[in-house]
Amino acid sequence: MNDEVSVKNKKLGRKLAIFAIAMFGFGYALVPLYDVLCEWKWIERDRPDAIKAIPETAYSIDVNRDINVEFITSLNENTPMVFSAEMPQLQVHPGEYHTVNFYAENKTNKTMVARAIPSFSPALTSTYFEKVECFCFSEQTFTPHEKKIMPMRFVVNPGLPTDYKTITLSYTFFDNTETVIKK
């Protein structure tokens, strides 16, 4: 192979390597891009910011509709806690405010920081499920063996499409103690 071709090859090789490195960066760029795409209005939002408080507003109560709200509580992997809802389900009218208490207990001798992450099914209902107050808005600190009663106040927006009759709301507690200490 003569020198001229060899130089050309090295040049092209370098260009392609830069392309590969750029694609590695693109992989990371997909992370913020994903959030941006999920916020686009013309895509129905299936991943709304369910951990933001919405101020209590008076809706007209639609007494003709019953929505069954189900509560599921679970713990991630080996989170050493007890976690349950006051009731497994609740019948509500759209526009009507309710408060449900959740019970959590630290089973260890150490201070624990944990975070409850919500998830909705069907996902689209989450946009219409407005929370005024929730323990899931921030990290919860538990002293050793502390027991907590944590309220969650919500309303189902009367704009909820009539197709939906049941909303399942699941909370999972994640033990974040290590992460918080590291930070």
CA-to-CA distance for 169 and 155, rounded, in angstroms?
13
* Count of CB atoms situated within 10 Å of the CB of 150: 17
Q: Establish if 52 lies at the interface with another protein (CB under 8 A).
A: no
Query: Number of residues in contact with another protein, rule: CB under 8 A?
Result: 43
CB-based burial of residue 114 (10 Å sphere; 0-12 exposed, 13-18 middle, 19+ buried)? buried
Q: CB of 63 within 8 A of CB of 93? A: yes
DSSP state of 51: T
Within the chain, what is the greatest distance between any pair of CA atoms? Answer: 86
- Considering only residues 64-123, where is the footprint of another protein by CB under 8 A? 76-77, 115, 117, 123
Q: Find the shortest distance in angstroms from Cβ 114 to another protein.
A: 8
From 39, 46, 56, 146, residue interacting with another protein (rule: CB under 8 A): 46
Q: Establish if 24 lies at the interface with another protein (CB under 8 A).
A: yes
Residue ranges binding another protein (CB under 8 A): 1-3, 5, 8-10, 12-13, 16-17, 19-28, 30-31, 34, 42-47, 76-77, 115, 117, 123, 172, 174-176, 178-179, 182-183
